[in-house]
Amino acid sequence: MVFKRRDRRPIWKIVLDFLYPRGGWGRAFGYVKHRLRRLPDTPEKISRGIAAGVFTSFTPFYGLHFLIAVLLARLMRGNMLAALLGTFFGNPLTYVPIGIAALGSGYWIMGRPFNAALFGLGRNVSEDYCTIGCQFQNAFYDIGHNIWATFTPDRADWTGLIAFYHEVFVPYLIGGLAPGIISAAICYYLFVPIIAVYQKRRRKLLQAKLDQLKVEPDKMNGVGKGK
């Protein structure tokens, strides 16, 4: 295959690149910023797309963020590529504060005390306690195992998925709405003027280059006539 990688990366390398990309997070964010600036659309549509991606980062639908962001951007009449780039608001550097904000809000709205043990916080948290990462892992394992069980003699087990649903998914989904909407609104109103200024400046630079290209042939023709 033409596009197949020549050097197959081991699993640990894929995980490491996800947690800390080559060149560092500064370079990764710089690339996202560069791509956002060059999107061929109005500042309002690009910013609506970014807002859709940022809001999606506050939902517990991990693995589906790209799809949800694109659907939201379509409903909001925003730029869909900007929505994909906006999902990078949720990354290994922000997952913990996003999770704390979403779950804290969710538990508060539902009238339940915040379960700090999910993040390994608290004095009496045992080493074998299933934290939020463990909860997601158990849920995904149950889904995969139960799909496999429908075609094999294995028995389906929903224990991990049920615990995840009550402890994480529902409070995360409810609690992520408010901080997600607030963050998306801030990003929208922040990016509209920034992108507008950048696009205006870029148009001026392109026009200056075009004018220069028009002037150079005229100079060449003038030199030819003088001879």
Q: Give the pLDDT score at 14.
A: 46
pLDDT averaged over every residue in the chain: 80
Banded model confidence at residue 173, pLDDT cuts 50, 70, 90: very high
Q: Is the pLDDT of residue 160 over 80?
A: yes
Q: Is the pLDDT of residue 88 over 50?
A: yes
Residue 129 token pair: 């306690």
In the chain the first and final C-alpha atoms are separated, in Å, by 58
Q: Give the pLDDT score at 3.
A: 36
Q: Give the pLDDT score at 48.
A: 94
Residue 165 token pair: 């649903």
User: What pTM value is reported for the model?
Assistant: 0.72
Per DSSP (E only), the strands in 9-128 are: none
Q: Give the pLDDT score at 170.
A: 94
Q: Give the pLDDT score at 224.
A: 53
Q: Is the pLDDT of residue 35 over 60?
A: yes
Provide the residue ranges of all domains of the chain, joining segments of one domain with +. Answer: 11-194
CA–CA distances in Å: residue 157 to residues 135, 138, 148 = 15, 11, 11
Query: Tokens 């504060």 appear where?
Result: 97
d(CA 80, CA 61): 18
